[in-house]
Structure 1
Amino acid sequence: MPATPHPTRRPDDLSLEVVDLIGAIVARYHEEFEEAAAGHALTGAQAKLLTLLSLDPLPMRKLARKLRCEPSNVTGIVDRLESRGLVERRPDPADRRIKVAAVTDEGRRVARGLRDSLRFARAPLAALTEEERLALRDLLRRMVESGTGPEETPGG
Protein backbone atom coordinates (compact mmCIF):
# COMPACT_ATOMS: atom_id res chain seq x y z
CA MET A 1 0.00 0.00 0.00
CA PRO A 2 1.55 3.36 -1.04
CA ALA A 3 2.40 5.83 1.70
CA THR A 4 0.33 8.98 1.79
CA PRO A 5 1.88 12.32 2.69
CA HIS A 6 1.54 13.12 6.37
CA PRO A 7 -0.42 16.41 6.74
CA THR A 8 1.37 17.46 9.93
CA ARG A 9 4.87 17.00 8.51
CA ARG A 10 7.01 20.10 8.99
CA PRO A 11 7.86 21.93 5.74
CA ASP A 12 11.50 21.87 4.70
CA ASP A 13 13.76 24.85 5.50
CA LEU A 14 13.73 26.13 1.90
CA SER A 15 9.91 26.19 1.82
CA LEU A 16 9.84 28.02 5.15
CA GLU A 17 12.31 30.59 3.84
CA VAL A 18 10.21 31.12 0.69
CA VAL A 19 7.09 31.59 2.81
CA ASP A 20 8.92 34.13 4.99
CA LEU A 21 10.10 36.03 1.90
CA ILE A 22 6.59 36.06 0.44
CA GLY A 23 5.32 37.34 3.80
CA ALA A 24 7.89 40.16 3.76
CA ILE A 25 6.85 41.15 0.22
CA VAL A 26 3.16 41.09 1.16
CA ALA A 27 3.81 43.22 4.25
CA ARG A 28 5.74 45.79 2.19
CA TYR A 29 3.00 45.81 -0.45
CA HIS A 30 0.27 46.39 2.15
CA GLU A 31 2.26 49.15 3.85
CA GLU A 32 2.80 51.00 0.57
CA PHE A 33 -0.78 50.36 -0.56
CA GLU A 34 -2.14 51.90 2.65
CA GLU A 35 0.21 54.89 2.23
CA ALA A 36 -0.87 55.30 -1.40
CA ALA A 37 -4.53 55.09 -0.38
CA ALA A 38 -4.04 57.71 2.32
CA GLY A 39 -2.30 59.92 -0.25
CA HIS A 40 -5.58 59.93 -2.18
CA ALA A 41 -7.66 60.39 0.99
CA LEU A 42 -8.94 56.79 0.75
CA THR A 43 -9.08 53.96 3.23
CA GLY A 44 -7.40 50.70 2.27
CA ALA A 45 -10.81 49.09 1.63
CA GLN A 46 -11.89 51.99 -0.61
CA ALA A 47 -8.64 51.76 -2.57
CA LYS A 48 -9.00 47.97 -3.01
CA LEU A 49 -12.56 48.34 -4.24
CA LEU A 50 -11.58 51.14 -6.62
CA THR A 51 -8.71 49.03 -7.95
CA LEU A 52 -11.06 46.08 -8.56
CA LEU A 53 -13.59 48.28 -10.33
CA SER A 54 -10.91 49.80 -12.54
CA LEU A 55 -10.70 46.36 -14.18
CA ASP A 56 -14.45 45.75 -14.67
CA PRO A 57 -17.81 46.89 -13.29
CA LEU A 58 -19.05 44.38 -10.72
CA PRO A 59 -22.28 43.65 -8.83
CA MET A 60 -22.17 44.30 -5.08
CA ARG A 61 -22.32 40.60 -4.14
CA LYS A 62 -19.34 39.76 -6.34
CA LEU A 63 -17.41 42.71 -4.88
CA ALA A 64 -18.21 41.44 -1.39
CA ARG A 65 -16.91 37.96 -2.29
CA LYS A 66 -13.70 39.37 -3.76
CA LEU A 67 -13.12 41.63 -0.76
CA ARG A 68 -14.25 38.87 1.64
CA CYS A 69 -16.72 41.04 3.47
CA GLU A 70 -20.48 41.49 3.87
CA PRO A 71 -22.45 43.08 1.02
CA SER A 72 -23.65 45.78 3.44
CA ASN A 73 -20.01 46.82 4.00
CA VAL A 74 -19.50 47.06 0.24
CA THR A 75 -22.60 49.24 -0.05
CA GLY A 76 -21.12 51.71 2.44
CA ILE A 77 -17.76 51.77 0.66
CA VAL A 78 -19.44 52.30 -2.72
CA ASP A 79 -21.60 55.06 -1.21
CA ARG A 80 -18.49 56.94 -0.03
CA LEU A 81 -16.68 56.49 -3.35
CA GLU A 82 -19.80 57.51 -5.25
CA SER A 83 -20.10 60.70 -3.18
CA ARG A 84 -16.56 61.60 -4.32
CA GLY A 85 -17.37 60.94 -7.98
CA LEU A 86 -15.01 57.95 -8.22
CA VAL A 87 -17.66 55.25 -8.67
CA GLU A 88 -21.20 55.11 -10.03
CA ARG A 89 -24.00 52.58 -9.90
CA ARG A 90 -25.56 51.49 -13.15
CA PRO A 91 -27.81 48.69 -14.37
CA ASP A 92 -26.06 45.44 -15.27
CA PRO A 93 -26.24 45.06 -19.09
CA ALA A 94 -26.85 41.31 -18.67
CA ASP A 95 -29.65 41.71 -16.09
CA ARG A 96 -31.12 45.19 -15.70
CA ARG A 97 -32.61 44.25 -12.30
CA ILE A 98 -29.08 44.12 -10.89
CA LYS A 99 -26.98 47.21 -10.21
CA VAL A 100 -23.24 47.12 -10.77
CA ALA A 101 -20.65 49.47 -9.37
CA ALA A 102 -18.46 50.99 -12.08
CA VAL A 103 -15.45 53.26 -11.89
CA THR A 104 -15.78 56.78 -13.35
CA ASP A 105 -13.06 58.45 -15.41
CA GLU A 106 -11.87 60.22 -12.25
CA GLY A 107 -11.93 56.90 -10.37
CA ARG A 108 -9.85 55.30 -13.12
CA ARG A 109 -7.33 58.16 -12.83
CA VAL A 110 -7.11 57.69 -9.04
CA ALA A 111 -6.76 53.90 -9.41
CA ARG A 112 -3.91 54.42 -11.90
CA GLY A 113 -2.28 56.83 -9.45
CA LEU A 114 -2.56 54.22 -6.69
CA ARG A 115 -0.88 51.59 -8.84
CA ASP A 116 1.82 53.98 -10.04
CA SER A 117 2.70 55.03 -6.50
CA LEU A 118 3.58 51.46 -5.43
CA ARG A 119 7.37 51.75 -5.63
CA PHE A 120 8.62 48.86 -3.52
CA ALA A 121 9.04 46.34 -6.33
CA ARG A 122 10.28 48.62 -9.10
CA ALA A 123 14.01 48.63 -8.25
CA PRO A 124 14.21 44.94 -7.27
CA LEU A 125 12.30 43.90 -10.40
CA ALA A 126 14.38 46.21 -12.61
CA ALA A 127 17.47 44.37 -11.34
CA LEU A 128 16.12 41.13 -12.83
CA THR A 129 16.41 40.28 -16.50
CA GLU A 130 13.24 40.00 -18.54
CA GLU A 131 13.70 36.23 -18.55
CA GLU A 132 13.92 36.21 -14.74
CA ARG A 133 10.81 38.42 -14.42
CA LEU A 134 8.90 36.11 -16.77
CA ALA A 135 9.99 33.07 -14.75
CA LEU A 136 8.98 34.78 -11.50
CA ARG A 137 5.61 35.77 -12.96
CA ASP A 138 4.96 32.25 -14.21
CA LEU A 139 5.91 30.67 -10.87
CA LEU A 140 3.70 33.11 -8.95
CA ARG A 141 0.81 32.41 -11.34
CA ARG A 142 1.22 28.67 -10.74
CA MET A 143 1.16 29.22 -6.99
CA VAL A 144 -1.94 31.41 -7.19
CA GLU A 145 -3.79 29.11 -9.56
CA SER A 146 -3.06 25.97 -7.53
CA GLY A 147 -4.03 27.49 -4.19
CA THR A 148 -7.22 29.45 -4.82
CA GLY A 149 -10.65 29.29 -6.30
CA PRO A 150 -11.79 31.16 -9.41
CA GLU A 151 -12.87 34.28 -7.42
CA GLU A 152 -9.41 34.79 -5.92
CA THR A 153 -7.33 35.20 -9.08
CA PRO A 154 -4.79 38.03 -9.39
CA GLY A 155 -6.25 41.45 -9.82
CA GLY A 156 -9.29 40.32 -7.94
Structure 2
Amino acid sequence: MTGTRGADTAQLMEMLSASLAAYYGDFTAAAASENLTASQAKTLNVLRRGPAAMRVLAAILTCDASNMTGIVDRLEKRGLVQREPSPTDRRVKNVVITTEGERVIDVIRGKMHTTRAGLDRLDDEERSTLYALLERAFMQQPATA
Protein backbone atom coordinates (compact mmCIF):
# COMPACT_ATOMS: atom_id res chain seq x y z
CA MET A 1 0.00 0.00 0.00
CA THR A 2 1.22 3.44 -0.82
CA GLY A 3 -0.16 6.91 -0.16
CA THR A 4 -3.84 7.09 0.68
CA ARG A 5 -4.81 4.11 -1.46
CA GLY A 6 -6.48 1.48 0.73
CA ALA A 7 -5.81 -2.22 0.72
CA ASP A 8 -7.94 -4.35 -1.53
CA THR A 9 -9.68 -7.50 -0.31
CA ALA A 10 -6.86 -9.79 -1.47
CA GLN A 11 -4.28 -7.75 0.46
CA LEU A 12 -6.47 -7.77 3.57
CA MET A 13 -6.94 -11.52 3.29
CA GLU A 14 -3.17 -11.97 3.03
CA MET A 15 -2.59 -9.77 6.08
CA LEU A 16 -5.24 -11.67 8.05
CA SER A 17 -3.63 -14.95 7.04
CA ALA A 18 -0.20 -13.80 8.22
CA SER A 19 -1.66 -12.36 11.43
CA LEU A 20 -3.62 -15.52 12.23
CA ALA A 21 -0.61 -17.72 11.49
CA ALA A 22 1.45 -15.69 13.98
CA TYR A 23 -1.37 -15.76 16.55
CA TYR A 24 -1.99 -19.51 16.26
CA GLY A 25 1.72 -20.30 16.32
CA ASP A 26 2.01 -18.30 19.53
CA PHE A 27 -1.18 -19.90 20.93
CA THR A 28 -0.04 -23.43 20.05
CA ALA A 29 3.36 -22.94 21.71
CA ALA A 30 1.76 -21.47 24.84
CA ALA A 31 -0.76 -24.35 24.98
CA ALA A 32 2.05 -26.90 24.59
CA SER A 33 3.86 -25.30 27.54
CA GLU A 34 0.80 -26.26 29.60
CA ASN A 35 0.78 -29.79 28.13
CA LEU A 36 -2.29 -29.11 25.99
CA THR A 37 -2.84 -29.46 22.28
CA ALA A 38 -4.04 -26.45 20.33
CA SER A 39 -7.47 -28.11 20.03
CA GLN A 40 -7.72 -28.63 23.77
CA ALA A 41 -6.73 -25.00 24.44
CA LYS A 42 -9.18 -23.73 21.80
CA THR A 43 -11.90 -25.71 23.55
CA LEU A 44 -11.09 -24.00 26.85
CA ASN A 45 -11.09 -20.66 25.06
CA VAL A 46 -14.57 -21.30 23.62
CA LEU A 47 -15.90 -22.52 26.96
CA ARG A 48 -14.67 -19.30 28.59
CA ARG A 49 -17.68 -17.67 26.88
CA GLY A 50 -20.05 -20.12 28.59
CA PRO A 51 -21.15 -23.76 28.70
CA ALA A 52 -21.77 -25.54 25.41
CA ALA A 53 -23.16 -28.85 24.23
CA MET A 54 -20.69 -31.22 22.59
CA ARG A 55 -22.28 -30.82 19.14
CA VAL A 56 -22.06 -27.02 19.48
CA LEU A 57 -18.38 -27.25 20.44
CA ALA A 58 -17.71 -29.53 17.46
CA ALA A 59 -19.42 -27.03 15.13
CA ILE A 60 -17.54 -24.02 16.54
CA LEU A 61 -14.20 -25.83 16.38
CA THR A 62 -15.06 -27.39 13.00
CA CYS A 63 -14.21 -30.92 14.05
CA ASP A 64 -15.98 -34.25 14.07
CA ALA A 65 -18.13 -34.99 17.13
CA SER A 66 -16.05 -38.12 17.86
CA ASN A 67 -12.89 -35.98 18.00
CA MET A 68 -14.67 -33.54 20.31
CA THR A 69 -15.49 -36.39 22.69
CA GLY A 70 -11.80 -37.31 22.93
CA ILE A 71 -10.75 -33.70 23.49
CA VAL A 72 -13.33 -33.20 26.24
CA ASP A 73 -12.47 -36.57 27.84
CA ARG A 74 -8.81 -35.54 28.15
CA LEU A 75 -9.70 -32.07 29.49
CA GLU A 76 -12.11 -33.60 31.99
CA LYS A 77 -9.48 -36.09 33.17
CA ARG A 78 -7.22 -33.10 34.01
CA GLY A 79 -10.04 -31.32 35.85
CA LEU A 80 -10.19 -28.46 33.32
CA VAL A 81 -13.81 -29.06 32.27
CA GLN A 82 -16.78 -31.01 33.51
CA ARG A 83 -19.94 -32.34 31.93
CA GLU A 84 -23.28 -31.24 33.35
CA PRO A 85 -26.83 -32.08 32.31
CA SER A 86 -28.48 -29.41 30.18
CA PRO A 87 -31.13 -27.52 32.12
CA THR A 88 -33.44 -27.66 29.08
CA ASP A 89 -32.83 -31.18 27.73
CA ARG A 90 -31.73 -33.98 30.04
CA ARG A 91 -30.45 -36.02 27.07
CA VAL A 92 -27.82 -33.33 26.38
CA LYS A 93 -24.65 -32.82 28.39
CA ASN A 94 -23.13 -29.36 28.48
CA VAL A 95 -19.40 -28.94 28.86
CA VAL A 96 -18.44 -26.34 31.47
CA ILE A 97 -15.00 -24.90 32.14
CA THR A 98 -13.78 -25.32 35.73
CA THR A 99 -11.92 -22.78 37.82
CA GLU A 100 -8.71 -24.68 37.02
CA GLY A 101 -9.56 -24.56 33.31
CA GLU A 102 -9.99 -20.79 33.53
CA ARG A 103 -6.65 -20.50 35.31
CA VAL A 104 -4.92 -22.56 32.61
CA ILE A 105 -6.37 -20.54 29.71
CA ASP A 106 -5.29 -17.34 31.51
CA VAL A 107 -1.75 -18.77 31.81
CA ILE A 108 -1.77 -19.65 28.11
CA ARG A 109 -2.90 -16.14 27.13
CA GLY A 110 -0.21 -14.71 29.41
CA LYS A 111 2.47 -16.75 27.63
CA MET A 112 1.49 -15.48 24.17
CA HIS A 113 4.45 -13.10 24.10
CA THR A 114 4.56 -12.48 20.34
CA THR A 115 0.87 -11.61 20.19
CA ARG A 116 1.06 -9.41 23.29
CA ALA A 117 4.14 -7.59 21.96
CA GLY A 118 2.35 -6.83 18.69
CA LEU A 119 -0.76 -5.53 20.43
CA ASP A 120 1.36 -3.54 22.90
CA ARG A 121 2.81 -1.59 19.94
CA LEU A 122 -0.65 -0.07 19.44
CA ASP A 123 -1.82 2.94 21.42
CA ASP A 124 -5.25 3.03 23.05
CA GLU A 125 -6.94 4.64 20.06
CA GLU A 126 -5.43 2.11 17.64
CA ARG A 127 -6.53 -0.78 19.88
CA SER A 128 -10.07 0.60 19.99
CA THR A 129 -10.11 1.01 16.22
CA LEU A 130 -8.76 -2.51 15.64
CA TYR A 131 -11.32 -3.96 18.04
CA ALA A 132 -14.19 -2.11 16.35
CA LEU A 133 -13.04 -3.16 12.87
CA LEU A 134 -12.65 -6.82 13.80
CA GLU A 135 -16.03 -6.80 15.51
CA ARG A 136 -17.65 -5.19 12.46
CA ALA A 137 -15.96 -7.54 10.01
CA PHE A 138 -16.41 -10.83 11.85
CA MET A 139 -18.72 -10.68 14.86
CA GLN A 140 -21.86 -9.04 13.59
CA GLN A 141 -24.43 -11.28 11.99
CA PRO A 142 -25.45 -10.36 8.44
CA ALA A 143 -28.89 -8.82 8.10
CA THR A 144 -31.56 -11.25 6.99
CA ALA A 145 -33.77 -10.47 4.02
Tell me the TM-score normalized by structure 2. Answer: 0.84
Partners of 1:110 and 1:80 in 2: CA distance = 14
* 1:113 and 2:132 aligned: no
The answer to whether structure 1 residue 125 and structure 2 residue 111 are counterparts is: no
2:83 matched to which residue of 1? 89
C-alpha distance in 1 between matches for 2:13 and 2:6: 10
Distance in 2, matches of 1:37 and 1:109, equals 13
Is residue 138 of structure 2 the alignment partner of residue 144 of structure 1?
A: yes
Aligned match for 1:79, one of 64, 73, 91: 73
Bigger shift: residues 35-44 or 88-97: 88-97
2:7 is matched with 14
Contiguous gaps of at least 5 residues in structure 1:
1-11, 150-156
| Bigger Cα Rg | 1
- 1:14-53 equivalences under 5 Å are 14-15=7-8, 16-53=10-47
* d(CA) in 2 for partners of 1:121, 1:35: 12
Aligned length, in residue pairs: 137
Aligned-pair RMSD on alpha carbons?
2.0
8 Å CA contact 2:26–2:115 kept in 1: the answer is no
Partner of 1:153: none
Separation (CA, whole Å) in 2 of partners of 1:113 and 1:101: 21
Q: Is residue 101 of structure 1 aligned with residue 95 of structure 2?
A: yes
Amino acid aligned to 2:19? I
Using the TM superposition, name which of 59-68 and 124-133 deviates more: 124-133
Q: TM-score, normalised by structure 1?
A: 0.79
Structure 2 segments unaligned to the other structure (5+ residues): none
Distance 2:98 2:139 in 1: 30
CA–CA separation in structure 2 for the residues paired with 1:60 and 1:136: 32
Structure 1 residues 19 and 101, CA gap change in structure 2 (3 angstroms)? same
| CA distance, structure 2, for counterparts of residue 44 and residue 125 of structure 1 | 21
Return the alpha-carbon distance in structure 2 between the equivalents of residues 121 and 32 of structure 1: 7
AA partner of residue 20 (structure 1):
E
Distance in 2 (alpha carbons) for counterparts of 1:50 and 1:68? 15
